[in-house]
Chains A and B, each alone.
Chain A
Amino acid sequence: MILFKKYLPIAVCSGVGFVTLLTYYSPHPAAGNFLDGASRWSNIIYAFAFVLGLLSMFVRHYGKIKRQSEGWGYSVFVFIGFFIVFIPALVSRGQLLNGTELTSLGWSFKFVYSALMSTMFSVLAFYMASILYRSFRIRSWQTMVLALSAFVVIAGKVPLGQLLWDKLLWWTGVDAGQVVQWLMSVPAVAGRRAIMLGIAVGVVAASLKLIFGLERQYMGKQ
């Protein structure tokens, strides 16, 4: 039993990992064919994962409604939302347009989904303004540098800021655009590059642990 539960998954993971890694460096047609096949497999597995995720969500929310546990009313909306999109998608065979006319799916996307998403995102502007007022306190030189950088970048990026900069800070002899360009291409890029390299090294380490069977979380608790 331990063969199927432990050794076989590790062997499959290591084998596929090694071969995929090697194909990146191999110009042989077999390497390309392997990658093509693996890509198709991956897409098919994704499709199954969608169905599995959907079933899991249904079971969870149905359970909440059945038990009438706290917030069960929201779970009802999960089903309503799903059917508002799913039924029109079936009727219009997944097409949003019929010629130039919106299908029922197109209608539900534009007037339900799109409207709700836009509303949710727009509300953020109000919360961000409130948070900036209440939380952005300049109490140290670090926050002062942050605030000044934000001010300069905003001033340099939007026309109104450039206008103000030219009127108030003309005596510095420096253009707002030049300062922004320097901030964006020197300190910002240096920081970003350091983060990218750190992440890349971390990903290589994590991938090698998976390939060599040292990382086994994907098999469950054991």
Chain B
Amino acid sequence: MTFKAKARAFLDSLAVLDRRLIFALVAVTLGVAVSLPPRLPASPADADVKKVFDLVENLPENSFILVSADLDPANAPELLPQAKAMLKHAFRKNHRVAVLYFSASAAGVAEELLRESAREYPAKEYGRDYVLLPYMPDYAAALTQMGSDFYGIYDTDSRGAQLKTLPVMSGISRLADVNLAVVFCATTLLDNWVTLASDRFGFKLAGGVTAVLQPRYGPYLQTGQLAGLLGGMKGGADYETLLGAPASGAAGLDALNIANFLALALILCANAALWLRRLL
């Protein structure tokens, strides 16, 4: 067999590489990146993340922040670091926080998010500093009603206590009373928060979405309908860096870096094999 024929055979085999080999390559690469993180240097924080950080930072003490935590276990690796960092920041600045969700599968994650974020601040008390609202299936109805009467739709918290009587809700009767709302989601729910709630009732709205959804919200950011946006694991890592408390977002960024470059390397490798095969 000539060199040319051997090269052709090799390139042909590259073009139809056994997928189990690719699976093994991904497993090894991610395994190493997660277990032995190379601690790559952090890049500057995204401008839209900085806007969210500055909003929380500059709110007067005891402000009320409404958080829509529509995360589920599938998107939690991207969204949970963002939400945790933002909640910790809110607790650090002594703001009041109410967490709600419109996705049934978010129940456990929202509860965990609130519990873990509050754990670092033992002085914070449920009902006085933070509260978890119960699941509502119809977000459109809930957002519409919250605009005129918060307690018309949420009469109790998730534990069955009368919401209106809790100190955390002091001075809040409708959405316009909220100082800032932040929506964490992997769906198009944030669009509905913009059109059904913030545009209509006039309050500041920011978001935290998966990296795939991030380009979707460019128009809202340019018009100011969204005050800021955290995108993907990088958004969470940026917020943690701004907060000076690197956590799961920053830790996951190394794996994300390497996984992204592995994807690019695979594309280049497959195409290089194809081009070389044409030349031979």
Interface residues of A (CB under 8 A from B): 32, 35-36, 38-40, 42-43, 46-47, 50, 95-97, 100, 106, 109-110, 113-115, 117-118, 120-121, 125-126, 128-130, 132-134, 136-138, 147, 150-151, 154, 157-163, 177, 184-185, 188-189, 192-193, 196
What are the nearest 4 A-B pairs in CB distance? A39-B141, A189-B218, A117-B73, A109-B108
Interface residues of B (CB under 8 A from A): 17, 19, 22-23, 25-27, 30, 40-44, 72-77, 105, 107-109, 111-112, 115, 136-138, 140-142, 144-145, 148-149, 152-153, 158-159, 211, 214-216, 218-219, 222, 234, 253, 256-264, 266-267, 269-271, 274
Closest to B233 in A: A158
B26 touches A109 (CB 8 A): no
Closest to B140 in A: A42
Task: Decide if the interface of chain B is mainly helix, strand, loop or mixed.
Answer: helix
Out of A46, A113, A162, A189, name the residue touching B138 (CB < 8 Å): A46
B119 → chain A closest CB, angstroms: 9
B126 → chain A closest CB, angstroms: 10
A210 to B158, CA, bound (A): 37
B95 → chain A closest CB, angstroms: 23
A192 touches B215 (CB 8 A): yes
A185 to B258, CA, bound (A): 26
* Chain A neighbourhood of B258, CB < 8 A: 160
B218 touches A125 (CB 8 A): no
B19 touches A192 (CB 8 A): no
17 further A-B contacts with Cβ under 8 Å, apart from A40-B145, A96-B108, A159-B42, are: A35-B148, A42-B138, A47-B137, A110-B108, A113-B105, A114-B73, A115-B73, A117-B72, A117-B73, A117-B74, A125-B259, A129-B26, A129-B266, A160-B40, A160-B261, A188-B218, A196-B219
Closest to B255 in A: A125
A193 → chain B closest CB, angstroms: 5
* Chain B neighbourhood of A40, CB < 8 A: 141, 145, 152-153
A32 → chain B closest CB, angstroms: 5
Closest to A128 in B: B263
A32 to B174, CA, bound (A): 13
B136 → chain A closest CB, angstroms: 7
| A125 and B108 in contact, given A46-B137, A133-B269, A189-B222 (Cβ under 8 angstroms) | no
* Chain B neighbourhood of A132, CB < 8 A: 263, 266-267, 270
A113 to B145, CA, bound (A): 31
A40 to B77, CA, bound (A): 34
* Chain A neighbourhood of B149, CB < 8 A: 36
A128 to B212, CA, bound (A): 14
B263 touches A43 (CB 8 A): no
A43 to B148, CA, bound (A): 16
* Chain B neighbourhood of A118, CB < 8 A: 73-74, 76-77
B22 touches A130 (CB 8 A): yes
A94 to B188, CA, bound (A): 27
Out of B141, B142, B152, B270, name the residue touching A136 (CB < 8 Å): B270
A147 to B261, CA, bound (A): 13
* Chain A neighbourhood of B270, CB < 8 A: 132-134, 136-137
A185 touches B218 (CB 8 A): yes
A-B contact pairs, 29 of them (CB 8 A): A32-B148, A39-B153, A40-B141, A42-B140, A43-B137, A96-B111, A97-B115, A109-B108, A113-B105, A114-B73, A120-B74, A126-B22, A128-B263, A129-B25, A129-B262, A129-B266, A132-B267, A132-B270, A133-B267, A137-B270, A138-B271, A147-B267, A147-B271, A158-B256, A160-B258, A184-B214, A184-B218, A185-B222, A189-B218
Closest to B26 in A: A129
A114 to B106, CA, bound (A): 10
A96 to B109, CA, bound (A): 10
